[in-house]
Structure 1
Amino acid sequence: MTWIAPDIDRTDPVRTGPERPMLQSWLDFHRRTLLGKCADLDPAHLKHRGVPPSGLSLHGLVRHMSEVERGWFRNAAAGQRLAYLYCAATNPNGDFDDIDAADPAADFAVYHRETRLADAAVAELPLDHLCHHPAGLEFSLRWVYLHLIEEYARHNGHADLLREQIDGRTGD
C-alpha cells in the first residue's frame, strides 16, 4: 500500500492574551496549514512540480521548512549548531531538488520531529533572547517567531497553488 499524507486538524490562532502564546498559535496554525495542503496525497502528487520553471513541490516545501525550523530555532536561537538535513554548501537547494528518490513518509516524520524539537529548544527562552545567525547578525527570538510565521505564510501560498495544480483543491 502506498503512503498517503494524513489529514490534519487545524485550530484557529489565539486572538487575545499574552504575546508568546499568540505567536506560538500563529506558528502552529501555519505549520498545520502546510500539512493540510499535503493531506490525502500520495508520494507522486507530493513530488509534483506543478509550476514550471520552478522546482517547488509540496514534498520539497515540507523538507525546506524542516531546515528552516532547525536553522532558526535550534541553531540560531538555542545555539545547537546542527548540520543541515538536506542541504550542504555544495547542494544549497537539496531540500527542494533532491526529492525524486526521497521518501515522503520519512521526510514528514523528520518535519514533525523538527517542529517538536524546535519548540522544545526555545520553550524557556524569553522573546527578547538574542539569536545568532551564522552570518554574524543578531535577532531577537520574537523576530525569529515573526520571520517563521512570514516564511510559512509565503510558502503556504506556494503550497496552495501547487495543490490546486494537482487536484483543483483550494482552501484557506
Structure 2
Amino acid sequence: MKLFIDSSQSRFIAALIENNKVIFSSNIETKYKVEEIIKFFENVPNLHNIHNIYINLGPGSFTGARIALLYVRTLAQLNNKIKIYTTNTYSLLSSLNKKFFQRKFFIFATKNKSYLLTNKSVKIVNKHAKESQINYDLLLSNFDKFLNTFTLSSLENLQPTYASQPQIGEIKK
C-alpha cells in the first residue's frame, strides 16, 4: 500500500492508495495541519500495510511541511521496510500542468507574499494575483502515472524545502 501526504500547501492532503485506487483519504483546507494529521493517523486503516510513502517537502507552509515530515520519519523508523519518496511543489505543479507549458508558478507564502517557483529558483515576491494550485484530484486518480515525480530518499537526509530560512523563536536583529 502507498501513502501520499502533502501538508505544505493550503490544504492537508493524505491518501492511502492500493492498486492505483484511493481507499482512505483526507482533503481539508486548513491552517491547522497538526490537528488534521493527528486525526488522519488516528483513523487510517491498516497502517502496518504501508510500504511506500510519497511526500511533498514544499516549499509552502513551514509548520505543515515539518509536521508531515515528522510523522513520515516516525513511521519509517518504526518499520524499516517503508521506503520514502520525496518531491517538491515545483515538480508536482510542473508534472500536473504539462499541457500548459507553464514553468513559473506562484504559491501561497504569507498573507502578503507568494513564492515564485521556477525550475532554477524559489523567491519570495509580493502577492501575485493568481496562485497556482496542485490538482490533487488528478494526481490521486492517476497516481501511478506521476510516480516519476518522486525520488527515493534516505531517512537521514530528509529535510523540508524552504524558500528562505525559517524564523524560529525571537526575531533576530
Q: Which has the higher contact order (CA 8 A, sep 6+)?
A: 1
TM-score range, shorter chain: 0.3 to 0.5
TM-score of the superposed pair, with normalisation by structure 1: 0.36
Higher helix residue share? 1
Higher strand residue share? 2
TM-score of the superposed pair, with normalisation by structure 2: 0.36
